[in-house]
Structure 1
Amino acid sequence: MSVDEAGTARGGDGVDEPGWEVDPDDESGVAMAATVGRQIKAWRESAGMRAGEFGAAIGYGEDLVYKVEGGRRIPRPEFLDRADEVLGAGGKLAMLKRELAEVRYPKKVRDLARMEARAVEVSVYSSHGIHGLLQTEQHARVLLEARQPAYSRDEVERGVSARIARRSVFEREPAPSLSFVQEEASLRRPIGGRMALRCQLEHLLEIGRLRSVSLQVMPLDCESHPGMGGDIEILKFDDGTAVGRSGGAFNGRPVSDPKHLRILELRYGMIRSQALTPRESLAFIEQALGET
């Protein structure tokens, strides 16, 4: 895949390699990228290699090497693996992948992913589109590419990677309790085309059949319900605390006050009661898939 200067450097083999720019407003990300860059540069200089020579040896351009060493670019895992091998670092550079695993995602997404990773209960109502945790990679990419003002290609790639990484919540042990209510309209819009919609519906069926997941559809023939004002998301943690947010309450700000949370829980409970049951919803999605 070819991306512009904001998201790539051209490797020595002529293949465009996507990377991630460092968000200057992300202090922890800037510090981590700078630290990793200095370590790579120290290993390269210790090996007596020029930046261009080193770049050619690992299959990346000299320009990217300078940007990584200067802390202006977050290296991909493959970069670190090749660098470790060429420089004989004995795994010391490759292990930096763990430190950079989160930094490559936008800070606000990292914060959300951390909360989702801690939550023992996740309750979500999506009023317009497929919720991020339920999106296929293709669906997420089309949405991000359609955004206005337009994201750069680098921002699109980071956004897609972040959404896919968040899906690890479905693989946790012990599994959290996950509840989703999707509006029927979100299952009908062919975002990315008919084949992309089919893949998205198939993915919803797969997720909806997990024992830890309750997936419900709010049918269009439901005249009104408490979610008409916007999305709702509630995360509960094992220490008894919780955080919630709704586009239709409290100016869309995250809330943790028990009084505010009770309002969101009441609304979400009523939404679930008016939606199709999980069994009916899976049958509904299967029917929609057959009609696509």
Structure 2
Amino acid sequence: MCVAYGLSEGGVTEERRPETPAEENGSAAVFVVLGKQLKLLRERAGLNQREFGSLVGYGPDLVSAVERGVRTPRPEFLQKADEILQAEGLFTAVIPQVEEAMSRARTRHPEWYRGYAALEAQAVSLHDYSTMGVLGLLQTEDYSRAVFTQRHPPLDEETIEKRVADRLSRQQIFEQWPPPEFSFVMEQAVLERPIGGPKVHKEQLRQLLRIGRLRNVQLQVMPTGRHEHPALDNSFSLLTPKGKEQVGYMESHGYPRLITSREEVRILTARYGIIRAQALNPHESLDLIDRMLEER
């Protein structure tokens, strides 16, 4: 059974504004103020977002999202931030509100995507093969913004910023414990395509290196020079939600499909296994990305 969820992010269908978790329980203002306080104390400590992020275990894009109030900070983040910035309980005091927001949060994505996003948030394993661009789950803020800015027909600025914030919010899955198992295979052409320009491209390559070095992540590159290839038709994802059967997901020309048919999922799983076998292994893949970064 294949279920269509409407037009994808590139389509022209009008959508309602997705709510953030904080907006749903009326605590949005708390996180906006919290973000401003975090930025003020971080700057007083003489730390930029990258430096501070390395101390608390967040990337610079996620620190930026917290400071802008568009991402709910996790309690562990607030504990570390309080210690590092010597906030004397300023951040730990709001942990109960954070836990309340997280417990009542719904997915904040457009309706057509919410079914998959809800499954992704529960995933115990996720595997993806990408052919055209970096998977949204792996994108930096600037790369994501460049992707949405280049969409045609064009999106308005408000919609672009909503989409970017929503995409970054999905990356909380990397902070879950116990951590899900991830594997990502991307075509070499995806790494070579400088979406957003040289600066954005370099930061995206650094992001892939950071994520690819996580213990629960296997990142592989399919070399362009391979003579054989089992999946030239489309990108796809395979995920297993907790306590549920594995499902597939793909988008084609603006139309997303959630695939629940056991036979179709079996075929995608077999195809993904062949793709992984033909790709560079994870160590070779990270070495390739490292060399590409040095050349830019």
Q: Please give the root-mean-square deviation of Cα atoms over the aligned residues, in Å.
A: 3.1
Q: Does 1:279 align with 2:283?
A: yes
**Aligned-partner SS, 2:286:** helix
Paired letter, 2:222:
M
Alpha-carbon offset, residue 105 of structure 1:
3.6
Select the residue among 113, 116, 135 that pairs with 1:112.
116
Match of 2:265 in 1: 261
**In 2, Cα distance between equivalents of 1:204 and 1:25:** 30
Match of 2:54 in 1: none
> Residues 175-226 of structure 1: CA distance to partner in whole angstroms, max 9, x if unpaired?
0110100111111111111111110001100000000000000111013312
- When residues 34 and 170 of structure 1 are mapped into structure 2, their CA distance, relative to the original with a 3 A threshold, is closer
Match of 1:242 in 2: 246
Judge conservation of contact 2:107–2:118 (CA < 8 Å) in 1.
Answer: no
Paired letter, 1:272:
R
Judge conservation of contact 2:25–2:104 (CA < 8 Å) in 1.
Answer: no
**Aligned-partner SS, 2:259:** coil
Paired letter, 1:183:
E
Match of 1:192 in 2: 196
Select the residue among 111, 129, 149 that pairs with 2:153.
149
**Paired residues for 1:88-99 under 5 Å:** none
Alpha-carbon offset, residue 116 of structure 1:
1.2
Unaligned runs of 5+ residues in structure 1 are 1-21, 41-75, 79-90
Alpha-carbon offset, residue 110 of structure 1:
3.8
- When residues 33 and 196 of structure 1 are mapped into structure 2, their CA distance, relative to the original with a 3 A threshold, is closer
What TM-score do the two structures reach when normalised by structure 2?
0.64
> Residues 157-192 of structure 1: CA distance to partner in whole angstroms, max 9, x if unpaired?
111001110011111100011010011111111111
Paired letter, 2:149:
E
Alpha-carbon offset, residue 238 of structure 1:
3.2
**In 1, Cα distance between equivalents of 2:198 and 2:121:** 33
- When residues 150 and 170 of structure 1 are mapped into structure 2, their CA distance, relative to the original with a 3 A threshold, is same
Structure whose alpha-carbon radius of gyration is higher: 1
Select the residue among 143, 158, 163 that pairs with 2:162.
158
- When residues 260 and 33 of structure 1 are mapped into structure 2, their CA distance, relative to the original with a 3 A threshold, is same
Unaligned runs of 5+ residues in structure 2 are 1-13, 30-67, 71-93
Paired letter, 1:191:
I
Select the residue among 175, 193, 196 that pairs with 1:171.
175
Judge conservation of contact 1:125–1:181 (CA < 8 Å) in 2.
Answer: yes
Flag the structure with more relative contact order, 1 or 2, with Cα contacts below 8 A and sequence separation at least 6. 2
**In 2, Cα distance between equivalents of 1:34 and 1:268:** 38
Judge conservation of contact 1:125–1:227 (CA < 8 Å) in 2.
Answer: no
Paired letter, 2:168:
I
What TM-score do the two structures reach when normalised by structure 1?
0.65
- When residues 103 and 256 of structure 1 are mapped into structure 2, their CA distance, relative to the original with a 3 A threshold, is closer
**Aligned-partner SS, 1:192:** coil
Instruction: Count the aligned residue pairs.
Output: 215
